[in-house]
Structure 1
């Protein structure tokens, strides 16, 4: 078992590990327990009632966080001609075709999101072994294979994030920085949870939201009641 420092131990005492909090209580507690000297990231961890081994139970999608992520996102676009120009005008950090593919193959990956036009996927497909493990491979379901490259660039720059289930049916998504404060973080949390709930597969049976937790980079996990999240989204909590 990992040993934690005195600071973490003291902070952890503020969190009741035996109870599940409401979204507001959890977010306020997350901000309260963030004591690092840097602006910690707030992350949401979910356990969903799906079996990702079956294609019809995989959960994947994107959502634009209304308050942004608090992080400067570097966007690369694989495109040619007019679409490449559109991407540059929209603020893409890296734009290219064959030369950009060659750079990635040589180990140069200085971007957080990769977008590609459909006609480029023959080339980009060669990068699957490199970009795939990093979660950077363009995919239509994530909105990163599109002809609307300018729109995609602006959305990711503004705070669009992707969510998808792991092999264990878990989902982990950053929703902002501690400096946002509880209200702005709650706005992002609502947007994320709305999107995840809407993405529920028809084949999923039983309870969909199994476990919900919020944590900061250096802070303890704070359990959130799945029922309270459902009620909150419905305007009942």
Structure 2
């Protein structure tokens, strides 16, 4: 794959044979983010888990102290007084049954996170085929199936992110924007890593964190020493 000149120049600043410490990696990821927009800084964590086993699945959520730098649109499935509670808490969209055809037939997906009260999961379950593959299905482990919709919305708007294994047993999550200060990025990154380390499955044998990489949207990957977190 041919890379542009900006990427090639940025890649020269990264020593691919080196495992960086957090301070160096964060400073470097900001330095190599040279696109004409505010790049997202992402963390990619390759684990030793085997997600095909239910007891080695990892899924959870954590609130990043400095937020994500992104405006998050929240859709809430609720009824009765929970509709007013969701609207008052700042939900972008609130509804119930009537939203099913809009999402299913019209392909409406102008939201980033879906929250549902437990009594609405029968309705939301019918959207499994649409929301599931996009990672939008509400889940109790992520705190998105709850009666406390106000808290769920507040946390999401404040910078709550969900982490989980993909099919290759890798976790991909944003930890902020290139415009964030080094302190903000470091705080977000360390908060995420603490949560992921705590989520280690008790049944896992061998090395849990195989590799940890920081990268900006258009920049090269910067590897950290995974043993420093385990």
* TM-score, normalised by the number of residues in structure 1: 0.95
- Aligned partner of 1:82 in structure 2 is 81
Indicate if the aligned counterparts of 2:200 and 2:208 stay in contact, CA closer than 8 A: yes
Structure 1: which 4+ aligned runs deviate by more than 3 Å? none
- Aligned partner of 1:178 in structure 2 is 178
- Aligned partner of 1:159 in structure 2 is 159
- Aligned partner of 2:34 in structure 1 is 35
State the superposition RMSD in angstroms: 0.8
Compute the displacement of 1:81 (Å): 0.8
Q: Which runs of 5+ in 1 are unaligned?
A: 231-237
- Secondary structure of the residue aligned to 1:73 is coil
- Aligned partner of 2:188 in structure 1 is 188
Q: Does structure 1 residue 45 correspond to structure 2 residue 44? A: yes
Q: Which runs of 5+ in 2 are unaligned?
A: none
Name the CA distance, whole Å, in 2 between partners of 1:169 and 1:130. Answer: 22
Q: Does structure 1 residue 13 correspond to structure 2 residue 12? A: yes
- Aligned partner of 1:3 in structure 2 is 2
- Secondary structure of the residue aligned to 2:153 is helix
Q: Does structure 1 residue 70 correspond to structure 2 residue 69? A: yes
- Secondary structure of the residue aligned to 1:187 is helix
Indicate if the aligned counterparts of 2:197 and 2:229 stay in contact, CA closer than 8 A: no
Name the CA distance, whole Å, in 2 between partners of 1:102 and 1:191. Answer: 39
Q: Deviations over 1:95-138 (max 9, x none)?
A: 00111222211211110000000110111100000001111011
* TM-score, normalised by the number of residues in structure 2: 0.98
Compute the displacement of 1:176 (Å): 0.5
Q: Deviations over 1:23-73 (max 9, x none)?
A: 111111000111111100000000111111100001110000000000000
Indicate if the aligned counterparts of 1:115 and 1:145 stay in contact, CA closer than 8 A: yes
Indicate if the aligned counterparts of 1:211 and 1:226 stay in contact, CA closer than 8 A: yes
Name the CA distance, whole Å, in 2 between partners of 1:121 and 1:202. Answer: 30
After superposing the two structures, state which structure 1 stretch, 106-115 or 61-70, moved more.
106-115
- Secondary structure of the residue aligned to 1:52 is coil
Name the CA distance, whole Å, in 2 between partners of 1:131 and 1:182. Answer: 35
- Aligned partner of 1:144 in structure 2 is 144
- Aligned partner of 1:235 in structure 2 is none
Compute the displacement of 1:228 (Å): 2.8
Name the CA distance, whole Å, in 1 between partners of 2:182 and 2:227. Answer: 20
Indicate if the aligned counterparts of 2:41 and 2:174 stay in contact, CA closer than 8 A: yes
- Secondary structure of the residue aligned to 2:41 is strand
